Amino acid sequence: MKTDRFHLEVVAIKDIITHEEFDPSRSLNLIKKLKESNLFTDPIIVASLGNNKFLQLDGMNRINCFKKLGFKYILCQIIDYNNQEEFELSSWIHIFKAKREDFFKHIKKDKSLIIKKADINQIGPRYIKAQDFGRLVTVVDKKAGTFLVMTAGNFIEKIKRMNYIVSFYQDIINRAILPFPMTSRNIRLFFYEHPDLNFYDHPDANLMVVFPKLTPQQIIEVVRGGALVPAGITRHFIKDRCLNVNISLSFFDNKKSITQLNKDLDKFLLKKILRIYEESTIHFE
């Protein structure tokens, strides 16, 4: 179904090109949730690349769960990646518990990565330099303060080094939003009183990694370069995002053609009542 506010369509998973790594720590709970509810709630977000190919922007874990459950198709909300009025691209930060010495030892094994002390006002995310020497990520230790991880090289090399950094804690990724304004007091409060419910799984977290912002053009470059950004880095805000579609998993019948599935989707959606909220909302799940 395509309207002047949204475009929902069933898409073949094989035609979706992903831009980020899969977070294995989330798959078991998500598969369990899907099986228990027997409902697919929120469409994934993709951009059309033409020739029936799509770029995954959000929903990497749902794609992988659908693959594991044996489905060939998935429900997508399609946006125009050339129209920046439809979306905003930001970044998450990662929070986890580890000894800073062990984490830095891991980083230093890559001789192209250099760590240096920094001030609190240097925490904020910056756009990554496509070439030459510059900041890759920022690390904040709850007690020891702020550090910059610097490197040189081309853009794809820097993305691969970012993946290497995340590989140290890839099984315990917790995403969060950086507090503003970023004062020493706010950072301390952030570690102790973070409102993200997932964070309470690791209330004694002591390390934070702040990633650079990427542009849509850089996301496309990552895909064309055959690379993937780390899991839980990119954060797409979508205008008129479709939520709570709540379509039965039995709808995704592999025996049906994609044309028939989309006809069935239109019939299903026409029976639904739409509520459009212009203001920001907070969902309790």
* Distance (Å, whole) CA 151 – CA 158: 7
Query: For residue 43, what pLDDT is reported?
Result: 97
Which CATH fold would you assign to the domain 89-235?
3.30.1760
Which CATH fold would you assign to the domain 8-86+239-270?
3.90.1530
- Closest C-alpha among 128, 148, 129, 150 to residue 138: 148
142, two tokens:
């709850």
Residue linked to tokens 């470059």: 221
Q: What is the DSSP letter of 142?
A: T
Cβ atoms of 239 and 86 closer than 8 Å: yes
pLDDT tens digit string along 25-74?
778 889 999 999 999 999 999 999 989 999 999 999 999 999 999 999 99
Give Rg (Cα) of the chain.
20
pLDDT tens digit string along 103-155?
999 999 999 999 999 987 777 778 887 778 999 999 999 888 899 999 999 99
* Distance (Å, whole) CA 196 – CA 200: 7
Mean model confidence pLDDT for the chain: 89
Where are the chain's structural domains?
A: 8-86+239-270, 89-235
Checking if the pLDDT of 267 tops 60, the result is yes
* Distance (Å, whole) CA 133 – CA 58: 30
pLDDT tens digit string along 207-254?
999 999 999 999 999 999 999 999 999 999 998 999 999 999 999 999
pLDDT tens digit string along 152-176?
999 999 999 999 999 999 988 888 8
